[in-house]
Amino acid sequence: QGLETTLAQIAADELGLPLANIRVSFGDTDEVVYGSGTFASRSAVLCGGATFLASQEVATKLKRLVGHALEAAPEDVVLENGRGSVRGSPARFVDLAEVARWTYHNPQNLPEGETPILEATHTYDAPPGTGTFANSSMVAVVEVDPETGLVEVKRFVVAEDCGRMINPLIVDGQVHGGVAQGIGSALLEEFVYDEDGQMLTTTFLDYLLPGSTDVPLIEVHHLETPAPTILNGVKGMGEGGAIGPGAVIASAVEDALRPFTGAHLNELPLTPERLLRWMGRVGKAPAAAG
């Protein structure tokens, strides 16, 4: 889901380091005893907030150490491109790798009161009574074959607002992946049981997933409205792409079938058999929803 890159970008921005110099460690209980995974549109919000606070603390110390080395006030120090320099005098700089080296190996030369360590640990949670939600609006254009009941999604447009975008490519990927999942749940994916309660859809030959030909080119438009109560103004992203497609596609199909039936579609997935029943082409049509 791109969390490793997202957290690395947050740290790199605060520390003034190239992204390639940042390593994010997952799955090592020697370093992180407990981790619940990336879900619920919470990772960039909570993990990102903790990463920002920890990086900010280390950056503040780096500015003090660079200022000491260059005889400048910490507030005049700029961390950028792996260097610490004096604002307005970029020729006065020291490599941050060198600062780290003498912090650990020559602690006797540190300013009074500084410890020979460059690390920080932080947790982050949204303020009590607040939170953030994935936001998106969608439009689908579909084509329904009234003879076969097959549905083809011809066009899909998404306008999403995940607050401040840390990495637009990852946001796009989240939207595209969510919409693909949504198309699957709208048209294909279904657990089917026989009269004895035995599952019939036990393999991917029976439980169908959307392929590349089932997903159209997805047009994504981004809005950035920072979350006012969340550090960095970020919001969740995952659900924004995944929740809407079922309802949007069902509404589009319902509109397409209006000449054949006035029923409201209230059941997913919209399989050919189900649609043909709704149109009265086979079997008994379901009762119309309210």
CA dihedral 164, 169, 174, 175 (to 10 degrees): 90
User: Is 140 in the same domain as 253?
Assistant: yes
CA dihedral 171, 20, 65, 54 (to 10 degrees): 40
Residue ending a domain, among 72, 92, 109, is 109
Residue 150: CATH number of its domain: 3.30.365.10
Query: Across-strand partners of 135?
Result: 161
User: Is 95 in the same domain as 215?
Assistant: no
96 occurs within a structural domain:
yes
Residues 108-127: tens digit of each pLDDT: 888 889 999 999 999 998 88
Q: Which residues contact 27 (CB under 8 A, 6 or more apart)?
A: 35
259 occurs within a structural domain:
yes
User: Is 94 in the same domain as 48?
Assistant: yes
284 occurs within a structural domain:
no
123 occurs within a structural domain:
no
User: Is 141 in the same domain as 211?
Assistant: yes
Residue ending a domain, among 94, 109, 124, is 109
Query: What amino acid is encoded at 74 in this protein?
Result: P
Residues 204-259: tens digit of each pLDDT: 999 999 999 999 999 999 999 998 888 888 888 878 888 899 999 999 999 999 88
Q: Which residues contact 22 (CB under 8 A, 6 or more apart)?
A: 8, 11, 12, 15
154 occurs within a structural domain:
yes
User: Is 273 in the same domain as 163?
Assistant: yes
Q: How many domains does the chain have?
A: 2
User: Is 59 in the same domain as 143?
Assistant: no
pTM score, whole prediction: 0.80
Residue ending a domain, among 109, 124, 154, is 109
User: Is 101 in the same domain as 211?
Assistant: no
Q: How far apart are CA 160 and CA 6, in angstroms?
A: 18
CB 222 within 8 A of CB 165: yes
DSSP-based three-state secondary structure for 79:
strand
User: Is 187 in the same domain as 253?
Assistant: yes
The structure tokens 């409205």 sit at 225
Domain span at residue 212 reads 135-278
Least confident of 27-31, 134-138, 256-260, 285-289: 285-289
pLDDT at 284: 59
User: Is 139 in the same domain as 104?
Assistant: no
User: Is 246 in the same domain as 211?
Assistant: yes
Structure tokens of 25? 């460690």
Instruction: Report angle CA 238, 229, 50 to the nearest 5 degrees.
Output: 70
User: Is 43 in the same domain as 100?
Assistant: yes
